[in-house]
Structure 1
């Protein structure tokens, strides 16, 4: 983030930040054209803060850098962000977020904790979804490695790794070091498995046609539609794994 900030902002002038905000180390804060930030606290002492074009930081947000909010994305009221965090383009984010990447067009719009995690594109985390990022024993976190078909060590802290086009039900609670594949609809009682295969529908397999239809529905919410390339790619992945229709 620090290197990207220097590259993007070199020899450029930030837009003026509204006087309703409070800042620390304002020289490390860059606001792009069309961005709206009101009644929030931005602390760039620990790293730079970048607010992209037409992004919006609603009232009451608390932001510590390094942090990037990319073009067209929104932080909802009262969001708490700890660095190092990047929120991709056209996302909606809320609750508490720490040291995480949320890729483009994904939503974590409500309360809940997301820490030490990576979220793919076109994902949606239902209200109250949270993850653990450290074990109660403070021992090394193990994460599933699909190529090795085994759990491998991932350090002391690791949260949720969520593939593209996946969604969670409200109040979903993820265990430390959970890996979920692409096109998953995650719901059910208790903690989900620490490894959730591609095209999972709860504890069953997602029907391919329904998966593609649901993706299209979600894309329409952001003014887009599923493309032929996406359909071909996802279909190839589906059948390469020898998954049958549910």
Structure 2
């Protein structure tokens, strides 16, 4: 069986910043699982990564004499798996738009669009490729449905014993071992509801599928979950959330609205933090591009907040339609925040912004991680150092 290596396409990686500052593309969560977890399950194999040098200590690459490289932004489906599994050594799979999807080789390979040594095969069927940050929430509902079907196949849900919880379309509600649900409404009429191991849904929560909540995560009392939302593992969620993803270990535990948004890991939104996801004139939302360093059209009328790892917002923070917040940002204060807040920034639009000193940012990150009994390792500190250096020219205060 070949070694499975999920590679970063450098163009896509730039388009997926700031989330890919701290993880390979395949570490992005879309649906119930990350892309890497999807491929590991579908291929019944461990996976490794080909990514930036500063990430490779944590996200290692394991190569053998038979290597199957798969685009890290590519989400598996039945037809795609069948074709990729059938690739012979020396074959390269591309899309009709000349996007590199997968290849198999008996050599070590670094990303390149040179195709001379490969037998080119064109994949003409539909597929899901995460190309832009807004694709993550745009595709999330469909990916929840696909992951739900695969994860729950041939498995039996734990029964919901609470007499005060009401379920609509219970056949599309799956509960893992140890989960607790109290006095809530779960509506799976328009899409499945997946409740992970040891998750807690507290009293008065109202959930509309497609929805997924990961291991040991919590929905606070009275939480309103609208469709196409994923709460990753070890998160705390509250208030109103719509078509959004909390990757893992992040908190939006209080009242406030989050819509058409993606939060990385170890993020925290203070009480009454809100984001706009629709402009008053209903025009197309523009989002900061790390590729062009300017605002670019998303093609969407609904687009909210994209926040990198370790970033936090103070109470009553207001995020404008189509806002990008980088890695390790502490944003607070009155009024709407600017639409791009660079990594390692401290402050807000009204108060002014200065650089968040690396030593202090790393100490806060270590404390944040430690509060969840997770080790903040030297590899994590080195990644923060690398991101700090990479983003220094963006911080023009």
- Length-normalised TM-score, structure 2: 0.61
Q: How much has 1:237 moved relative to structure 2?
A: 1.5
Per the alignment, residue 53 of structure 1 pairs with 197
Matches of residues 108-147 of structure 1 in structure 2 within 5 Å? Answer: 108-147=252-291
Per the alignment, residue 97 of structure 1 pairs with 241
Q: How much has 1:39 moved relative to structure 2?
A: 0.5
CA distance in structure 2 between the aligned counterparts of 1:175 and 1:242, rounded to whole angstroms: 24
- Length-normalised TM-score, structure 1: 0.97
Q: Equivalent of 1:159, from 278, 300, 304? A: 304
Q: Equivalent of 1:225, from 371, 375, 385? A: 375
CA distance in structure 1 between the aligned counterparts of 2:390 and 2:280, rounded to whole angstroms: 38
Q: CA RMSD in A?
A: 1.2
CA distance in structure 2 between the aligned counterparts of 1:29 and 1:214, rounded to whole angstroms: 38
> Could you tell which deviates more after superposition, 93-102 or 12-21?
12-21
Q: Please list the CA deviations of residues 88-132 of structure 1 after superposition, one character each: whole Å capped at 9, or x if unmatched.
A: 000000000000001100000000000000000000000000000
Q: Structure with the greater relative contact order (CA < 8 A, sep ≥ 6): 1 or 2?
A: 2
For the pair 1:177 / 2:313, whether they are aligned, the reply is no
Q: How much has 1:226 moved relative to structure 2?
A: 1.4
What secondary structure sits across from 1:30 in the alignment?
A: strand
Q: How much has 1:189 moved relative to structure 2?
A: 2.6
Per the alignment, residue 154 of structure 2 pairs with 11
Q: Which residues of structure 2 form unaligned runs of 5+? A: 1-143, 348-352
Q: How much has 1:240 moved relative to structure 2?
A: 2.6
Q: How much has 1:241 moved relative to structure 2?
A: 2.9
CA contact (8 A) 2:193 2:211 kept: yes
CA distance in structure 2 between the aligned counterparts of 1:240 and 1:161, rounded to whole angstroms: 19
> Could you tell which deviates more after superposition, 229-238 or 6-15?
229-238
Q: Which residues of structure 1 form unaligned runs of 5+? A: none
Matched residue count: 245
- Cα distance change of structure 1 residues 98 and 242 upon mapping to structure 2, 3 Å threshold: closer
Per the alignment, residue 391 of structure 2 pairs with 241
Structure with greater helix share of residues:
2
What secondary structure sits across from 1:7 in the alignment?
A: helix
Per the alignment, residue 30 of structure 2 pairs with none
